């Protein structure tokens, strides 16, 4: 497990966008960031779930969050730039962007992989992080120090049979993160890294492993040390690396 002791004010006055913030790792990260002083921008497709996270942050008297409803499976280019314009108008910059939203599919051979499932996996897990990053780059450039985190997977770092479009998307996402790092390496205020949370007790995990006992897995909350480290200024020197939470 990644070990890091974060100071209480680690993210004071930072503006951080979290995708997939309504549940699982995204919810845990959004709450952890808010508890450490950040203004968290909650993005997801389930407005009720985002409202619940929003209310929890307010109840804990953390900085007021913001909420953006966007279905990454159906979003088009205009949607991403409209979102970036809204953030610019309200906040002027982004100090961090955590690409956490994702979809999974049952484990099965490629020959049985339906095309619509394949396209959905690539759209949400790969195309959306590319499109959102591209739209938000001016906001990241406007920050004194910005962290861009792509959520990877063991399936994106090891070739495993039957993981289908999910594995393809995550392998490509690692390359996407590496390319953004190379293209931004002369932009001293933006650091780019990928993060593999590993198996944990989330609804996404249950799609692929319905018979698995979630009690045998760490909770999302137990993995937040590395999420905090990579988003805070203690990680300013970390660039173009592959991190693992476990």
- The answer to the question of residue 57 being in a domain is yes
Q: Per-residue pLDDT tens for 106-160?
A: 889 999 999 999 999 999 999 999 999 999 999 999 999 999 999 999 989 998 8
- The answer to the question of residue 233 being in a domain is yes
Q: What is the per-residue pLDDT for 11?
A: 98
Range of the domain at 32: 15-197+224-244
Q: What is the per-residue pLDDT for 4?
A: 96
- The answer to the question of residue 41 being in a domain is yes
- The answer to the question of residue 137 being in a domain is yes
Strand (E) or helix (H) holding 8: none
Total domain count, the chain: 1
- The answer to the question of residue 110 being in a domain is yes
Any idea what the CATH number is for the domain that residue 115 is in?
3.40.50.720
- The answer to the question of residue 8 being in a domain is no
- The answer to the question of residue 218 being in a domain is no
- The answer to the question of residue 210 being in a domain is no
Residue from 144, 127, 134, 158 nearest 242 by CA? 158
Low-confidence residues of the chain, pLDDT below 70?
none
Q: What is the per-residue pLDDT for 216?
A: 87
Would you tell me how many other CB atoms lie within 10 Å of the CB of residue 148?
25
Judge contact between 100 and 20, C-beta under 8 A. yes
Q: What is the per-residue pLDDT for 60?
A: 98
Judge contact between 124 and 73, C-beta under 8 A. yes
Q: Mind telling me the catalytic residues?
A: 166
Residue from 7, 196, 18, 183 nearest 95 by CA? 18
Q: What is the per-residue pLDDT for 215?
A: 85
Q: What is the per-residue pLDDT for 158?
A: 92
């Amino acid at each position: 497990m990644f070990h890091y002791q974060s100071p209480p004010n680690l993210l004071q006055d930072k503006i951080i966008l979290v995708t997939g913030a309504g549940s699982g790792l995204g919810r845990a990260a959004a709450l952890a960031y808010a508890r450490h002083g950040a203004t968290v921008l909650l993005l997801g497709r389930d407005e009720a779930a985002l409202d619940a996270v929003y209310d929890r942050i307010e109840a804990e008297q953390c900085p007021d969050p913001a909420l953006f409803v966007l279905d990454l499976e159906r979003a088009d280019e205009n949607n991403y730039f409209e979102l970036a314009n809204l953030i610019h108008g309200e906040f002027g910059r982004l100090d961090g962007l955590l690409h956490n939203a994702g979809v999974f599919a049952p484990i099965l051979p490629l020959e049985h992989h339906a095309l619509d499932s394949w396209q959905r996996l690539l759209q949400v897990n790969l195309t959306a992080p590319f499109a959102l990053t591209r739209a938000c780059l001016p906001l990241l450039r406007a920050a004194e120090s910005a962290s861009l985190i792509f959520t990877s997977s063991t399936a994106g770092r090891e070739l495993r049979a039957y993981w289908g479009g999910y594995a393809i998307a995550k392998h490509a996402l690692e390359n996407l993160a590496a390319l953004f790092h190379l293209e931004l390496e002369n932009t001293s205020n933006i650091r780019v890294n990928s993060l593999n949370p590993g198996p944990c007790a989330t609804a996404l995990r249950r799609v692929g492993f319905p018979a698995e006992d979630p009690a045998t897995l760490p909770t999302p909350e137990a993995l937040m040390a590395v999420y905090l480290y990579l988003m805070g200024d203690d990680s300013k020197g970390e660039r173009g690396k592959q991190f693992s939470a476990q």
